Structure 1
Amino acid sequence: MTTELTKLWHIDSINLFEGISFEDKKKIEQLTSTRKLNKGEYVFFPDDSSGDIYFLASGRIKLGKHSSNGKENIKAIIYEGEMFGELSLLEKNPSSKREDFAMAMDEDSIVCTISQDNMQMLLKEHPVLNEKVMKQVTKRLKRTEKRMESLMFKDARTRLVDFIKELAADLGKPVGHEILVKHKLTHQEIASITAISRQKVTTLLNELKNEDKIHLERKSLLIRDLSDLK
């Protein structure tokens, strides 16, 4: 059973609640439930009710859809500290349905859940939270729009480079003049995100490596010069 202290630690790890007082975090803890998931376990499915909002305290979650032939298309990767399922806040309709699935990518992923009604109450009580949520929603919608444009108008290499730059923005750590990205993604997962075949992803990554644009390690890469990555 999750203890109150453990739940508070989970709340403290969520980006949205940075700067919130300890007393307010205790109130938020009372409004949330916590769930531990195994790798491959679903948080929600398409057509599930969208009446809840989720926060990832630990691990990674992928959001996506399955095509009619069963092919997985990953729309976004959610990392520790991030919120997801927040688009239902814009609809303000707890009876609306999910369009995507959400699945744990790591063992012992920890998800905190809050109802849409309680989340709306928090946003009214804390305007700073409302501002943060709107910024995140806007950022995610812009990224989705940019990725759709990329799929329509850009070749495979450009799409892959754009995705590597996204990873650098989200996960990159400076190492001198280079950027280290520990992403833990398989080539198949990268393929599902960029709409490129797994074989083509491998070929393009090796091309970038041979051109000394990147250095590849297992589940990580080193970008030599971000401005020269193209």
Structure 2
Amino acid sequence: MIKSSKYLVLKELELFDCLDDRQLEQLSNQVQSKKISKGQFLFDHGDHISDVFIVINGSFKIGRYTSNDKTLIKEIAYKHELIGENFMAEQSYTKDFAQALEDTEVYSIPISFFKNLLERNATLCQGVTEILIRKMAQLESRMSNFVFKKAQSRIVDFLKDLAKHKGIRIGLDEVLVNHGLSHKEIAYITDTSRQTVARVLGDLKRQNIIHFSTRKPHKILIRSTLNLS
């Protein structure tokens, strides 16, 4: 029997390693593929929660609007990551937003089906729980870094993370990153200021550790990840 393209994609995802062929087939029949253009929202604050999403290609910034009309960037969701896993909190409406940083594709899974799948598969339930725990640990680490690490170290750590998830290797040790973020958004993620981000990136450029042009600042060439410090 010829399997659908959705089935083949889902079979490659580590999260669904625990599903047998029948369960994978059922899942592939439920998912819907969605294309989200750069800058568009997958969901926004106040939207009804009806699906959980898996990033198939591209990346999203996940954030929340604060009471003083500012934006808090909580995380960047990359390829094969789960978005909207807070459906387990029994909320009817999302408090977050997910905005595409580039042209993206996601698979949407109806929450009712996904919950039923979790109830029938303890290993999958454990996998989703581990994702939640890991994200909580990342937020805790971010708070710790804010207290104990200097601004430059937090920005450098962010560049290393970008290189790991979004980098395209060029030559022996150079990595090109097209992150799609403004200095202001990087500041939100690293808990710094826009001016500090501009200063640190400028210093790294003058030291020939990274390179970017003023016309395309969202593209950064990291000369050597080993020299990032």
TM > 0.5: yes
> 5+ unaligned residues in a row in structure 2: which ranges?
none
Secondary structure at 2:53 match in 1: strand
> What is the Cα deviation at residue 54 of structure 1?
1.2
Residue identity in the other structure for 1:201: V
- Partners of 1:23 and 1:179 in 2: CA distance: 44
> What is the Cα deviation at residue 177 of structure 1?
7.8
Pair 39,70 (structure 1): closer, same or farther in 2 beyond 3 Å: farther
Matched with 1:100 is 96
Query: Contact 1:49/1:97 (CA < 8 Å) preserved in 2?
Result: yes
Matched with 2:224 is 224
**Offset from partner CA, 1:45-89 (integer Å, 9 cap, x none):** 223334431111122111102334543332111112111111222
Pair 9,38 (structure 1): closer, same or farther in 2 beyond 3 Å: farther
Pick one of 127, 139, 148 that aligns with 1:144: 139
Matched with 1:160 is 155
Query: Contact 1:65/1:72 (CA < 8 Å) preserved in 2?
Result: yes
> What is the Cα deviation at residue 15 of structure 1?
4.2
Matched with 2:23 is 24
Matched with 1:197 is 193
Residue identity in the other structure for 1:224: S
- Partners of 1:38 and 1:120 in 2: CA distance: 28
> What is the Cα deviation at residue 198 of structure 1?
3.1
Bigger drift between 181-190 and 74-83 goes to 181-190
- Partners of 1:170 and 1:137 in 2: CA distance: 19
- Partners of 2:19 and 2:165 in 1: CA distance: 23
Matched with 2:124 is 129
Alignment coverage as a number of residue pairs? 221
**Offset from partner CA, 1:192-213 (integer Å, 9 cap, x none):** 322333342122012123345x
> What is the Cα deviation at residue 168 of structure 1?
4.1
Pair 52,175 (structure 1): closer, same or farther in 2 beyond 3 Å: same
> 5+ unaligned residues in a row in structure 1: which ranges?
none
Identity over aligned pairs, percent: 29
Bigger drift between 150-159 and 132-141 goes to 150-159
1:1-230 equivalences under 5 Å are 5-12=4-11, 14-18=13-17, 20-68=19-67, 70-89=69-88, 91=89, 93=90, 95-107=91-103, 109-171=104-166, 178=173, 180=175, 182-188=177-183, 189-212=185-208, 214-217=209-212, 219-222=219-222, 224-226=224-226, 229-230=228-229
Secondary structure at 2:123 match in 1: helix
Residue identity in the other structure for 2:102: D
TM-score after normalising by structure 2: 0.78
- Partners of 1:121 and 1:173 in 2: CA distance: 38
- Partners of 1:163 and 1:198 in 2: CA distance: 14
